[in-house]
Amino acid sequence: MNVPLLDLRAQHASIRDAVMARVQSVIDRQQFIMGPEVPELEEQIARLSRAKHAIGCASGTDALLLPLLALDLEPGDEVIVPTFTFFATAGTVHNAGGRPVFVDIDPVTFNITPEAIEAAITPRTRAIIVVHLFGQMAPMERVLAIAEPRGIPVIEDAAQAIGARRRIGETWRMAGETGWAGTLSFFPSKNLGGWGDGGMILTQQDALAERTRRLRLHGGTRQYHHDEVGTNSRLDTLQAAVLLAKLPFLAQWSAARRTKAVAYTERFASVSAVTTPSVDPANEHIFHQYTLRVPRRDQLLEHLKARGIGCAVYYPLALHLQPCFGFLGYRPGSLPVSEAATAEAISLPVYPEVSAEQQDAVVDAVRDFYT
């Protein structure tokens, strides 16, 4: 049985009329840049994420870059980032003029640890980026307890965690709610994906909202008047229309992913070679990815592909070992928990439409490999 890693055509078939109507209305109006769908989506995402402001931009990468630019980093300024993440988390630090300081992760959740952050802080630390990897939040309350007394802003990279939440004290806190800035990606494969690139910045801070709104429009608030040098990083009206049509389904899609994840974990209980994902009891995971830790990962990957089972490795090389960051002087062994994860992690199909039979086929294929 063929099981793709993700089946966007199945999702599209289920919402075709709603999304086409929204897109058609943009086409009929012909207002492709900063049309009314953009602020409408910003308002809805702000409400979902309990943020005072939401600022649409061109990608999840730019959602990181614009707040980093707003920090006005000087050469040698440091930004602490996890090394086990998508490249953009650290690439944007470099492009904003900062120096990424890579830290290790928790082997259980794959998220950055407060202890590693604390150990990496120096007088040059200007920000901390926390990634809510694979759809579950890092322990923000513990990160903030370290960062806030030192006045260090925390950026939550919630590209994989839209709508994820964590119980802090008596209150559910949303991904992107409690940091200085939160960032979202609408890359098509995300839990809320557009028909191309898109991203959003979340913040409770009026000053940061104003600054990033300006930076995304070439640094000006009035056309052809530029207070500073920014860039062109708007969210397309067409993308906003697609996302507005999809947003009402996001909660049920993420709930379906959770159900599929539970089903996998139950089935994998009898496959002792694999370690299934752990959900921190304080978290509501949105399972952007269902990621196992396994021995002989690369051979398993080939075996699954040969059986028609979609799977992927997020991420095969930690960022501190990427050739482009060689100048920072990290060596293999510098951040061993992340390096182990790059050798052992494998993600399986967990999209909302994957069927029980398909999940059985995935589990059988993994079991067959280890028996």
Ligand X SMILES: Cc1ncc(COP(=O)(O)O)c(C=O)c1O
* Interaction site with ligand X (CB under 6 A): 59-61, 85-86, 88-89, 131, 157, 159-160, 185, 187, 197, 199
* C-alpha–C-alpha distance, residues 120 and 40, integer Å: 40
* C-alpha–C-alpha distance, residues 45 and 286, integer Å: 16
Residue whose CB is less far from ligand X, 59 or 291 = 59
Name the minimum Å distance from CB 79 to ligand X.
14
Residue nearest to ligand X (CB): 60
Residue whose CB is less far from ligand X, 199 or 310 = 199
CA distances from 333 to 147, 317, 338 (A): 27, 13, 9
Q: Measuring CA to CA, which residue among 151, 149, 154, 177 is closest to residue 82?
A: 154
Residue whose CB is less far from ligand X, 159 or 217 = 159
Eight-state DSSP code of residue 235? P
Name the minimum Å distance from CB 102 to ligand X.
14
State the Cα angle at 167 between 164 and 173, rounded to 5°: 55
Q: Measuring CA to CA, which residue among 32, 9, 325 is closest to residue 193?
A: 9
258 Cβ contact list (under 8 Å, min separation 6)? 284, 285, 286, 287
3-state secondary structure of 139: coil
Name the minimum Å distance from CB 229 to ligand X.
21
Q: Measuring CA to CA, which residue among 349, 346, 288 is closest to residue 313?
A: 346
Residue whose CB is less far from ligand X, 60 or 163 = 60
Name the minimum Å distance from CB 57 to ligand X.
9
Residue whose CB is less far from ligand X, 60 or 153 = 60
Name the minimum Å distance from CB 58 to ligand X.
8
Name the minimum Å distance from CB 135 to ligand X.
10
Q: What are phi and psi of 80, to 5 degrees?
A: -80, 130
**Segments in the chain forming alpha helices (H):** 8-29, 37-49, 60-70, 88-95, 114-120, 140-147, 206-215, 237-246, 250-268, 297-306, 336-344, 356-370
How many beta carbons lie within 10 A of that of residue 41, not counting itself?
24
Residue whose CB is less far from ligand X, 287 or 369 = 287
* C-alpha–C-alpha distance, residues 266 and 233, integer Å: 44
Name the minimum Å distance from CB 193 to ligand X.
9
Name the minimum Å distance from CB 307 to ligand X.
27
Residue whose CB is less far from ligand X, 131 or 362 = 131
Residue whose CB is less far from ligand X, 199 or 230 = 199
Is residue 21 classed exposed, middle or buried when 0-12, 13-18 and 19+ CB atoms within 10 A define those classes?
Answer: exposed
* C-alpha–C-alpha distance, residues 253 and 301, integer Å: 26
Amino acid at 44: Q
Residue whose CB is less far from ligand X, 106 or 157 = 157
Residue whose CB is less far from ligand X, 138 or 209 = 138
Name the minimum Å distance from CB 59 to ligand X.
3
Name the minimum Å distance from CB 236 to ligand X.
13
